[in-house]
Each structure stands twice: as structure tokens, then as C-alpha cells.
């Protein structure tokens, strides 16, 4: 797929941007801090409804304005769809598909598939499990958009069950200690908790089954990507680590296990079992200790965990492999996602640079940012936009300063 047209209004440092793009490579070049990443971030937002840099939407709205807009026309196998999102300060966001409002913004997920590789990605290897869960869930919803609703339901139940564990903690503690002779208050809190256990296990099992399937499908692409980036290094592998602990048979964490039709029902039953095992601990601590929100994606180099042991270069290769593996998986599903590379060539050594360039040159559309054009491998430097921020009476605003291109034989756009 590729983005044919793209526009922004009051998004980060852009007050207005309207660009026609085409398949192949496009490079945004400009000094540091002038607004290049903001362009990729906006496209990433249309793809995932989140930013790779911040966890809330407020910083995406241009300072001094209350509303931001991002829209793109996406061409996938000859079929065109337009998606846009309006971010409104203090209110729910609005999204449209072909200019018709959607009931929920998440209905646009899956229309624009992107894979973004950015300097922040080192945290996939070195950061907290939350960074890796986010990576998995974004890829999962990009492949299977209905998983966004599963994820939202799970998060809602998790919040409610966590609040119950906190507020009813006292009564539940008494029940947990004294069992059947509990007070009325305690017994009703415990009954309520059991209802929430059921909801948590039902949604959690679907999310867990989705992630296990994803890791199964992704593992060979990840291993292959790492091999091509660092052939002399130990082999890279991934493995899902579930907080269901010993309630989950070990073969479920083995990425080579073929997921089965009845996995969700089995996982739901195991989930409920682990909740009963952990009941008193959860009540004691007042937090939800079981579920996909506590899981992790283990990254291994040979027999060693990458986190804490991988060198700087190995960590970069692993992070890049996670992205290139995601790209290869989405491609294997049937359509190239838009590949976005945010100022990463300067960080890579010569071999990794050319390995990345080999993948990029072959992708349907690649959008690249760079502070200096020399950082971009020559074979990727096709259409080039200059980006510069200027001080105006409306604040510091990013602008496209120039466009240069090496036109392909057919003349391009
Ligand atoms: N909400 C906002 N409103 C206005 N300007 C913003 C907002 N958020 C960020 N900016 C501005 O955007 C600029 C940063 O843009 P961006 O991150 O795209 O830079 P960049 O060109 O990619 O830089 P680098 O090469 O260092 O990565 C900064 O000048 C910052 O002040």
C-alpha cells in the first residue's frame, strides 16, 4: 500500500501541510527540531491511533490551538480509501473514512498499515515490558483490527477490577482470612470480584490467544531479519512470557507451537484457575497480578536474554529486526505496509545500513527523515522535501521549503 495524499492542520509544529506522495522513497530533510518526525508521527497516528513518542494526545495539538487534524488517502491494491482524525482538546477524538464519520476512531485501524523504525526503538530491547507489549498489540491490531475492541474491553475490565481490589480491599481481606463466616459486605465484594474475574478471563484469553498466534507468525521473520543484519552474531529469537505462570502448559510459550481452534476456551479456563490461585495475593496487594497486562515478550540471543546482556550494536540490530520482522509479516499477509525510517541511518554502521537499505528499496513506499542528506543511502534518495521551521506571528511553524526529485522513467507525479 502507499499514501497518495496527506494533510495536516495544527498538528505539532505544522499549521497546514498538504502533500502528494507516490510509491518509492521520499526523504524529508531538515535541521534537528524543525518538524520532520512530526510528519511521520502523524502518519503513525493514523495507523495506530497513538504516537510513538508520547502516551497522551495533548502534545500532538499545536500549541495555542485546541484542535489538530491529520488525514491520508491510502491506495491498497488499486483501491483508495481516505482516513482522517480530528484531535480535540478535552474531548473525544473524531475519525472519518471517506469523509463519513465512524462510530469510534478505532474503526480506521488497519486501513493504513505502517512500520516505523525510530531511535526510540532501542527501548524495545532495553526498556520495560510495557514497550514490548505495545509493540505486539500495535502489530496485532494492524493485522486484525477487531483486536482493538478486545484490547479496549480488556483494559476497561482491568480498570474496574483493579478499582474493586483497591476499594473493597479491607472487606475482601476479612473474607479471605475468615472464609464462609465473612460479613455481608465482604461476601458481596467477593461475589462482585468473581463476576469481574469472569470478564477479565474472557477478554484476556482472546487477547492472549491473539498475541500467541502473532508471536508464532512473527518468530521466523524476526530470526531471518536479525540473521541478515548480523550474520556473525548468535541467532535471535522471541518467546512469549505469560503471567499465567504454571497454570499455562509450557508448550504454549514455545513460538513453534501451532495455535489451535479451541485455544481461547482453554486459555480462559486456565486464566480463571490462575486467578483463584492468586486470589489472596491479589487481595493483599490490591492489584491485578494475572493477565496480558503483566506479560512480556522475551528477546533472546542464543541462550542469553538480550535485555541486560546484548551489546549496543546487538541491541540496535534486535530492535531493527523487530521492525523489519513486522514489515515482512505484514507483507506475507498480502500487502506492504508503509515503511517509515526516522533518522536512523546515522545510528547504524555500514553493514546494517545496507541491510536496511536493501529492504527499504524493495518496499512499496518508504518515508525517511534525515538531518543531512548524506546520511541516506544513495539508492533511497529519490523524492526529497526540505523541512524548515520559521518564526511567525502564529508561533514557530514548520514548512516545506523545496521539493527535488529524480523522476523515474514514467515521469512520476
Ligand atoms: N504541540 C506542539 N505545538 C507546536 N510545536 C510543537 C509541538 N510539539 C512539538 N513541537 C515542535 O516541533 C519541533 C520538533 O519537531 P520534530 O520532532 O519533528 O523534529 P525533527 O525535525 O524530527 O528533529 P530531529 O532531527 O532532531 O529528530 C520542535 O521545535 C517542537 O518545539
CATH number of domain containing 224: 1.20.1050.90
Q: What is the pLDDT of residue 408?
A: 45
Cβ–ligand 1 contact at 371 (below 6 Å): yes
Q: What pLDDT sits at residue 348?
A: 84
30 is in an annotated binding site: yes
* Interval between CA 11 and ligand 1 midpoint (Å): 10
| 3-state secondary structure (DSSP) of residue 78 | coil
Give me the chain's average pLDDT, please. 91
148 within some domain: yes
Burial status of residue 118 (CB atoms within 10 A of its CB: 0-12, 13-18, 19 or more): buried
Say yes or no: CB of residue 375 within 6 Å of ligand 1. no
Q: How far is CA 248 from the centre of its chain?
A: 26
* Separation of first and last alpha carbons in the chain: 17
Find the 39 Cα to ligand 1 centroid distance in Å: 10
Collapsing DSSP states into helix, strand and coil, what is residue 403? strand
21 belongs to a structural domain: yes
Digit-coded pLDDT (tens) for 18-46: 999 999 999 999 999 999 999 999 999 99
Confidence label for 350 from pLDDT (cuts 50, 70 and 90): confident
Residue ID of nearest Cα to ligand 1 atom 8? 12
Indicate if 255 and 329 belong to the same structural domain. Answer: yes
66 lines ligand 1 (CB under 6 A): no
Q: Specify burial of residue 45 (Cβ count, 10 A radius: 0-12, 13-18, 19+).
A: buried
Least confident range from 147-151, 248-252, 321-325, 350-354: namely 350-354
Query: 72 with 144, same domain?
Result: no
Per-residue confidence (pLDDT) for residue 183, from 0 to 100: 62
Q: Is the CB–ligand 1 distance for residue 392 below 6 Å? A: no
Is 404 a residue whose pLDDT tops 90? no
Does residue 409 surpass a pLDDT of 50? no
Domains held by the chain: number: 2
Q: Model confidence over 47-106: pLDDT tens digits?
A: 999 999 998 999 999 999 999 999 999 999 999 999 999 999 999 999 999 999 999 999
State whether 106 and 243 are in the same domain: no
- Domain contains 124: no
Ligand 1, atom 16: closest residue by C-alpha: 35
34 Cβ below 6 A of ligand 1: yes
Q: Quote the pLDDT of residue 412.
A: 38
Sheet harboring 114-117: ordered strands across?
Answer: 114-117, 338-342, 365-370, 24-29, 383-392, 395-404
| Atom 9 of ligand 1: nearest residue by CA position | 12
8, 27, 37, 58: residue to mutate for ligand 1 pocket, most atoms within 8 A of CB:
37
Ligand 1 pocket residue status of 53, Cβ below 6 Å: no
Q: How high is the ipTM of this complex?
A: 0.97
Do 71 and 176 have their domain in common? no
Let me know whether 175 and 77 are in one domain.
Answer: no
Q: Does 293 share its domain with 160?
A: yes
172 shares its domain with 318: yes
Which atom number of ligand 1 is nearest to the Cα of residue 371?
Answer: 25
Look at residue 150 and tell me whether its pLDDT is greater than 90.
yes
Q: What is the pLDDT averaged over residues 342-356? A: 87
Residue 248 lies in a domain: yes
The DSSP string of 358-398 is HHHHHSSEEEEEESSGGGS-GGG--EEEEEEEEEETTEEEE
119 in a structural domain: no
Q: 390 and 321 share a domain?
A: no
The reply to whether ligand 1 has any atom less than 6 angstroms from the CB of 62 is yes
Report the CATH number that the domain containing residue 77 is assigned in CATH.
Answer: 3.40.50.300
Distance 380 CA to ligand 1 centre (A): 24
Residues 283 and 239 in one domain: yes
Say if 347 falls within a structural domain.
yes
Domain-ending residue, one of 334, 354, 381:
334
Beta-strand relationship, 24-29 and 383-392:
parallel
**pLDDT surpasses 90 at 113:** yes
Q: Confidence band (pLDDT; 50, 70, 90) for 398?
A: very high
Residue 107, pLDDT above cutoff 60 = yes
Range of the structural domain that residue 360 is part of? 1-113+335-412
> Can you give the pLDDT at residue 293?
97
Contact yes or no for 71/7 (Cβ under 8 A): yes
Mean pLDDT (whole number) for 291-300? 97
Is a pLDDT exceeding 60 seen at residue 394?
yes
Residues 353 and 397 occupy one common structural domain: yes
pTM of the model: 0.92
Query: Is 228 in the same domain as 322?
Result: yes
For residues 182 and 55, membership in a common domain is answered with no
Amino acid at each position: 500500500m502507499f499514501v497518495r495524499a496527506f494533510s495536516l492542520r495544527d498538528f505539532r509544529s505544522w499549521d497546514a501541510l498538504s502533500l502528494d506522495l507516490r510509491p518509492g522513497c521520499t526523504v524529508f530533510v531538515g535541521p534537528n527540531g524543525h518538524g520532520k518526525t512530526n510528519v511521520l508521527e502523524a502518519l503513525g497516528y493514523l495507523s495506530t491511533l497513538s504516537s510513538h513518542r508520547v502516551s497522551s494526545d495533548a502534545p500532538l495539538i499545536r500549541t495555542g490551538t485546541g484542535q489538530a487534524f491529520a488525514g491520508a488517502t491510502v491506495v491498497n491494491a488499486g483501491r483508495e480509501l481516505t482516513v482522517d482524525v480530528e484531535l480535540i482538546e478535552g474531548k473525544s477524538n473524531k475519525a472519518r473514512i471517506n469523509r463519513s464519520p465512524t462510530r469510534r476512531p478505532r474503526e480506521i485501524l488497519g486501513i493504513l498499515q505502517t512500520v516505523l523504525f525510530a531511535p526510540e526503538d532501542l527501548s524495545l530491547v532495553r526498556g520495560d515490558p510495557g514497550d514490548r507489549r505495545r509493540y505486539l498489540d500495535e502489530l496485532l491490531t494492524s493485522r486484525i483490527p477487531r483486536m482493538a475492541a478486545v484490547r479496549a474491553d480488556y483494559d476497561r475490565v482491568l480498570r474496574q477490577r483493579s478499582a474493586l481490589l483497591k476499594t473493597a480491599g479491607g472487606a475482601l481481606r476479612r473474607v479471605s482470612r475468615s472464609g464462609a463466616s465473612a460479613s455481608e459486605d465482604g461476601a458481596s465484594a467477593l461475589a462482585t470480584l468473581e463476576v469481574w474475574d469472569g470478564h477479565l478471563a474472557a477478554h484476556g484469553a482472546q487477547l492472549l490467544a491473539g498475541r500467541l498466534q502473532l508471536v508464532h507468525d512473527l518468530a521466523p521473520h524476526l530470526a531471518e531479519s536479525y540473521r541478515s543484519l548480523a550474520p556473525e552474531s548468535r541467532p535471535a529469537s522471541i518467546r512469549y512470557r505469560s503471567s499465567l505462570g504454571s497454570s499455562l502448559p509450557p508448550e504454549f510459550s514455545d513460538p513453534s507451537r501451532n495455535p489451535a481452534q479451541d485455544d481461547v476456551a482453554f486459555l480462559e479456563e486456565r486464566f480463571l484457575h490462575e486467578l483463584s490461585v492468586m486470589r489472596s495475593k491479589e487481595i493483599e496487594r490490591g492489584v491485578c497480578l494475572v493477565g496480558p497486562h503483566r506479560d512480556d515478550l522475551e528477546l533472546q540471543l542464543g541462550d542469553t536474554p538480550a535485555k541486560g546482556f546484548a551489546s549496543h550494536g546487538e541491541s540496535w540490530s534486535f530492535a531493527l529486526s523487530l521492525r523489519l520482522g513486522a514489515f515482512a509479516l505484514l507483507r506475507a499477509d498480502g500487502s506492504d505496509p508503509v515503511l517509515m525510517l526516522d533518522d536512523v541511518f546515522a545510528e547504524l554502521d555500514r553493514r546494517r545500513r545496507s541491510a536496511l537499505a536493501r529492504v527499504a528499496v524493495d518496499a512499496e513506499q518508504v518515508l525517511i527523515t534525515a538531518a543531512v542528506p548524506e546520511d541516506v543511502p544513495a539508492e533511497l534518495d529519490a523524492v526529497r522535501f526540505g523541512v524548515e521551521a520559521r518564526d511567525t506571528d502564529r508561533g514557530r511553524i514548520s514548512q516545506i521549503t523545496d521539493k527535488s526529485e529524480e523522476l523515474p522513467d514514467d515521469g512520476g507525479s
